[in-house]
Amino acid sequence: MKTPFPSRWLSLARALPLSGRIGLFLVCFWLVVALAGPLIAPYSVGGFVDYDVFGPMSARFWLGSDYLGRDVLSRLLWGARYTVFLGLGAALVASATGTALALFAAVRRGWVDEAISRTMDTLISIPSKVFALVMVAAFGSSLGLLLLIAAITYVPGNFRIARAIALDLAAMDYVTFARAQGESPVHIALREILPNMIHPLLADLGLRFVFIVLLLSGLSFLGLGVQPPHADLGSLVRENISGITEGAPAIIAPAIAIATLTVGANLLIDALKSGRGGKGKPA
């Protein structure tokens, strides 16, 4: 009898070390906030609800008000959605693209592998923030463009890791046997190599997510990220920086949110990497 799906996930969570459980809790917390935050936010994202700017924390405004008299808690709940889902979407696109290119290069080898590898080397030599600044300056700032910029920036890093793993696996006996049987390159890539790459690629996906969150937060802090009236967590820090002395919660709260999200993801990734490993064709 198969283990029920929730029980299987609970057993995996119990197997994690304490740091991994803390990381899992923080990641799940911010995923829930990103999903449900706008539904439970007490005010609209751009609503001017306080006559005082940088109002103190109170029963009405739990995190005070910002530089325009808007509720900081509401904007934090809305902003988490952009930070989490833009980061996660860009990480998934980067990982999927990099892995697909790596599998193609590992199976085809020769000039195909060389051409793709040199292209990725060229892209990875461009500093991520410089590339992002040039793209935003040229095409403006939009959610789609931000996602595309972040994904393109981190495709080369994922490609290099995925290619190294794929080349190791391509030399395994079971892959050689599949080639001798006349299996197609697509079958070898998707059925023989890819399943044995999943765990290290999931760990790399988590790292890409952390890097992308920090990149997007940095762009927003420079005023080139999510544009008003909407905001991500980096934008919340930037727009309230003038109130560091009188409205500290408006700056500290989103900064803590970014820190807990990235630290939680790192703790979970480290726990997963140390808890499982190994390669080879599953029996």
> What dotted CATH number matches 18-275?
1.10.3720.10
Give the domain ranges of the chain: 18-275
Q: 10 Å Cβ neighbour count for 259?
A: 12
pLDDT in tens, 165-216: 998 988 888 888 888 887 788 888 888 888 888 888 888 888 899 999 988 8
Q: Side-chain half-sphere of 236: how many Cα atoms within 13 Å? A: 36
pLDDT for res 9: 62
CA distance 213 to 234: 9
Residue 49 to residues 71, 80, 90, 197, 221: CA-CA distances in angstroms? 7, 20, 34, 51, 24
Tokens of 32: 């829930």
CA 271, distance to chain mean position in Å, is 17
> What's the confidence (pLDDT) of residue 140?
78
- Could you tell me the pLDDT band of residue 274, with boundaries at 50, 70 and 90? low
pLDDT at position 35 over 90:
yes
Q: What are the phi and psi torsion angles at 117 (to 5°)?
A: -65, -40
Q: What is the structure's pLDDT at 283?
A: 32
**Percent share of the chain, pLDDT over 90:** 31
* C-alpha span between 15 and 276 (Å, rounded): 11
Angle between helices 18-40 and 72-108 (to 10 degrees): 120
pLDDT of the residue at 256: 93
